[in-house]
Amino acid sequence: MEQKKDYYQDALLKNHGKSLCYHFFRNPVALIALIIVLFLALVAAAVSILSYYGIEWPMNPNETHLNARLLPPGLEHWIGTDHLGRDVFSRMLHGTSISMTVGFTAVAVSLSIGVSIGSVAGYCGGKLDQILMRSVDALLCFPTFFLILTAVALLGPSLINIIVVIGLISWTGTARLVRAEFLTLRETEYVYAARILGQRWWKLIIKHMLPNAAAVILITAILGIPEAILAEAGLSFLGFGVQPPQATWGNIIADGKNYFLDAWWLIFFPGLAILITALSFYLLGDALREVTE
């Protein structure tokens, strides 16, 4: 009996997963977005690994050529050079890994805070829930980007600080969603059953409820990545991002803004990269949400 039931459930789950995949892959927009995201992740990893072994392709992003300043896009420099004669394409490749790092790790930070606070608030309810959610409300009143800017500027801009600050400030949305999900999960029969069987509350949350909230969490994570990337780009643009000579998409634009009437490529291409990246993540997240609903 026991085995039979498991088998049945397994088959159900497999079919469920298959139908999700089927619906997901039938959506061409989602497919393209997924390919772009995977490609960007691949580029970021490849660039980091290659530069670790001292291979700089196509050029060293920090090598200056003062006789080749502000060259327009051409055969040698695919998308031109900046005011110090650095190859913008190489710099953008290196910027990819920074953006991806910031996106993924900042979301990991915000997710861990948001999920733990949301799940505890949703499961426990009562006074604790009230206090936690009112704090979330208070945090939501702040203009997020300005708060991030304030904290990063005072801490001093570095990769770690930016990641931590973005993560510490942008967990509120996740907490709200996870709490709402837990409020409904709390009333389900298997949670009652587990509670009656004497399961400890933290084990119940981690083992039984979190896996069932996985879809919501995954989607908020994917939708959080572009926000972190855009926040980092904005910080870089204002001069409080990852500091030069390390190239990021935002600080290529920030450097280029002094020459914007002469060298449009310094602004156009990095911005386009930010736009395409953020758009792909948003479309991917939205497609996933549609499929799971």
Partner 1 sequence: MLSFILRRLGLAFFLLFVISLISFFIVTLTPGSPYPWGEMNPKISPELKEAFRKKFHLDRPLPVQYCLMLHDLFTGKLRSMKDELPVLRKILDRLPASLRLNITAMLFSLSCGTLLGIYGARHAGHWHDLLSSFLAFLLIALPSFWISYLVVIGLVKHVGIPILGTQSYGIDFPNEFSRWLDQTWHLMLPALILSLGALAIQSRYLRASMIETLREHYILTAQAKGLSSSAIFYKHALRNSLRPLITGIGMLLPSLISGTVIIESIFAYPGMGQLGYQAVLERDYPMLVALNFIVAALVLIGNFISDLLYAVVDPRVRLE
Shortest distance (Å) from residue 60 CB to partner 1: 26
CB 238 within 8 A of CB 149: yes
Q: How far is CA 207 from the centre of its chain?
A: 25
Selected binder of partner 1 within 51, 144, 212, 246 (CB under 8 A): 144
Shortest distance (Å) from residue 257 CB to partner 1: 6
Letter string b/e over residues 38-66, b meaning 16 or more CB atoms within 10 A of that residue's CB? eebeeebeebeeebeeeebeebebbeeee
- Is 278 an interacting residue with respect to partner 1 (CB under 8 A)? yes
Within residues 8-47, the interface with partner 1 by CB under 8 A covers: 29
The contacts found for 65-71 with CB under 8 angstroms, 24 or more apart, are 70/259, 70/262, 70/263, 70/266
Shortest distance (Å) from residue 46 CB to partner 1: 24
Smaller CB distance to partner 1: residue 27 or 60?
Answer: 27
Query: Residue 291: left (phi > 0), alpha (psi -120 to 50), or beta?
Result: alpha
- Give the C-alpha separation, 19 to 23, whole Å: 6
- Is 126 an interacting residue with respect to partner 1 (CB under 8 A)? no
Query: Residue 248: left (phi > 0), alpha (psi -120 to 50), or beta?
Result: beta
Smaller CB distance to partner 1: residue 31 or 153?
Answer: 153
Residue type, 277: T
By CB under 8 A, the count of residues binding partner 1 is 45
Residue 87: strand pairing partners: 81
- Is 196 an interacting residue with respect to partner 1 (CB under 8 A)? no
Within residues 216-275, the interface with partner 1 by CB under 8 A covers: 226, 230, 233-234, 237-238, 240, 253, 257, 260-261, 264, 267-268, 270-272, 274-275
Smaller CB distance to partner 1: residue 29 or 42?
Answer: 29
Contact positions vs partner 1 (CB under 8 A): 29, 134-135, 137-147, 149-151, 153-156, 226, 230, 233-234, 237-238, 240, 253, 257, 260-261, 264, 267-268, 270-272, 274-275, 278-279, 282-283, 286
